[in-house]
Amino acid sequence: MERLQKVMAHAGIASRRKCEDIIEQGRVKVNGTTVTELGTKVQSTDLIEVDDVPIYREEPRYFLLYKPKNTISAVSDDKDRPVVVDLIKDVDERIYPIGRLDFDTTGLLLLTNDGDFANLLMHPSYQVPKTYIAKVSDIPTEKGMQQLRRGIKIDGKKTAPAQAKVKSINRENRTSIIELTIHEGWNHQVKKMLEAINCPVSKLKRERLGFLDLGNLNPGEYRELTAFEVDKLRKMAEK
């Protein structure tokens, strides 16, 4: 048994809050009876209609994509730029990205049609570690690396302590490769953290999310997550 508004939102009718409004407006029927109570629970066999149109209940789908550069983490773009959902072929369900990677950032991105799963992974209270590899336009100082490890102030607030290490240094070109693992998901967080230690990012890739990595995928390729992986992610987020 699931709450009616949750089933409606999962079917793509609207956000859960908007679905609650639709229910209260008397526009929803369950097995032919108009329902206006938000606590109503339904079974998989129940017929649900919105404005007398039966809703289609999608099976939950979960994908791991190697996001290529210059692609928008969205389902559409008003400037007609490429979006990540266009890369997932032969899928009837209305999937969308969980969180986002910047237009010029590459790497691991999850997509789903399961709103609860997406909210679980994105909620500030739940902390699934995310590991990035950044090419930066300078050589970090040990003081700067310690600042990252202790937490660093950006946009007026301090980040949680990060795992940070220098992978390589090119002294001739004054560039470095830094690996950074964070738990939050603030806007442009990795770029701002490295900018704060005077190491502006020239290239950025997300390599891991929790226990997931890109494996043998190439940019633009994807695979479906296994039920075991989905369950493990849920448990990791809920800890």
pLDDT 10s digits, 75-128: 999 898 999 999 999 888 889 999 999 999 999 999 998 888 888 888 777 778
The answer to whether residue 51 is catalytic is no
Lowest-confidence region among 111-120, 210-219, 225-234: 111-120
**Structure tokens, 63:** 């994908």
Question: What pLDDT digit, counting tens, does each position of 182-206 carry?
Answer: 998 888 999 999 999 999 999 999 9
User: What's the distance, Cα to Cα, between the start and end of the chain in Å?
Assistant: 25
For residue 162, what pLDDT is reported? 96
For residue 123, what pLDDT is reported? 78
Instruction: Please write down the HEC assignment for all residues of 208-239.
Output: EECCEECCCCCCCCEEECCHHHHHHHHHHHHC
Determine which one of 51, 52, 90, 102 is catalytic. 102
Report how far residue 47's alpha carbon sits from residue 56's, in angstroms, rounded to the nearest whole number: 10
Report how far residue 230's alpha carbon sits from residue 236's, in angstroms, rounded to the nearest whole number: 10
Query: Which range is most confident: 6-15, 69-78, 197-206, 230-239?
Result: 197-206
Is the CB of residue 205 less than 8 Å from the CB of residue 106? Answer: yes
Q: Which residues contact 161 (CB under 8 A, 6 or more apart)?
A: 149, 150, 151
More confident residue, 185 or 20: 20
Question: Rounded to the nearest 5°, which phi and psi values hold at 62?
Answer: -140, 125
Report how far residue 102's alpha carbon sits from residue 122's, in angstroms, rounded to the nearest whole number: 16
Q: Classify residue 121 as exposed, middle or buried by CB count within 10 Å of its CB (0-12, 13-18, 19+).
A: buried
| Tally of residues, the chain | 239
pTM here is 0.80
Instruction: Please write down the HEC assignment for all residues of 102-157.
Output: CCCCEEEEEEECCHHHHHHHHCCCCCCCEEEEEEECCCCCHHHHHHHHHCCEECCE
Question: What pLDDT digit, counting tens, does each position of 36-84 carry?
Answer: 999 899 987 899 999 999 987 778 899 999 999 999 999 999 898 999 9
Residue 137: which pLDDT band, with cuts at 50, 70 and 90?
very high
For residue 43, what pLDDT is reported? 87
